[in-house]
């Protein structure tokens, strides 16, 4: 097993997914009889970061608010913003203390800055890394302490390529890197393998 080289990897890698209510995960991850409102707590026992799609939180966060009580203090919750600017729902204020950041998929995220600042929530916008495998996001006007990578497992052929992409993502990153799978149904085995590779790398 490789040992951690602090001069090489300054950050810890935390693996997660876009969404957690995937029915196909009932076959590969969740216990068969688990109630829907227990799934986030079960997910958070194994994965410590999550991106919630706009479609899952734009109407209500009441259920999400209750389920977040079952997550650890260092659980990173990101909320996806829509591709076109809209005013943020007023109900967002009910969970803002749980939200690590709002994620804008637009290159120009300036329009969201005022609303995010009013809620005192970090706004993450895409960094132009010119990478074919993942999209990197960072907090606007920040020293880079919150950094996020969105990734599709279908672009990776094997574990060696996955390790290579992790190494690229880690360069220049400090403290923590949230590595989130964005496939329509994230591959549970790929997520678990990625976490294992990161541990073997010492990240």
Distance of CA 143 to the CA centre of its chain: 19
Taking the domain 11-201, which CATH number applies? 3.20.20.60
Inter-residue contact 98 to 70 (CB < 8 Å): no
pTM of the full structure = 0.89
Give pLDDT tens digits for 42-93.
999 999 999 999 999 988 888 888 889 889 999 999 999 988 877 888 889 8
Largest CA distance in the chain: 49
Give pLDDT tens digits for 187-200.
999 999 999 999 98
- Which H or E run contains 124? strand 123-127
Contacts of 129 (CB under 8 A, 6+ apart): 135, 136
* Average pLDDT over every residue of 36-42: 93
Q: DSSP character for 24? A: T
């Amino acid at each position: 097993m490789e040992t951690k080289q602090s001069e090489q990897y300054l950050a810890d890698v935390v693996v997660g997914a876009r969404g957690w209510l995937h029915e196909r995960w009932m076959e590969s991850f969740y216990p068969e009889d688990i109630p829907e409102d227990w799934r986030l707590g079960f997910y958070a026992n194994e994965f410590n970061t999550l991106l919630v799609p706009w479609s899952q939180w734009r109407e209500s966060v009441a259920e999400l608010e209750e389920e977040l009580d079952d997550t650890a203090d260092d659980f990173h919750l990101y909320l996806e913003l829509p591709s076109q600017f809209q005013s943020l729902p007023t109900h967002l204020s009910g969970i803002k203390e749980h939200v690590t950041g709002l994620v804008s998929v637009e290159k120009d995220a300036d329009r969201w800055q005022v609303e995010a600042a009013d809620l005192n929530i970090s706004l993450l916008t895409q960094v132009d890394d010119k990478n074919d495998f993942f999209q990197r996001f960072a907090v606007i006007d920040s020293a880079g302490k919150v950094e996020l990578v969105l990734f599709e497992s279908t672009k990776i052929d094997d574990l060696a390529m996955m390790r290579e992409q992790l190494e690229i993502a880690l360069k220049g990153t400090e403290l923590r890197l949230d590595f989130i799978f964005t496939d329509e149904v994230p591959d549970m085995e790929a997520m678990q393998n990625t976490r294992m590779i990161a541990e073997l790398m010492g990240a």
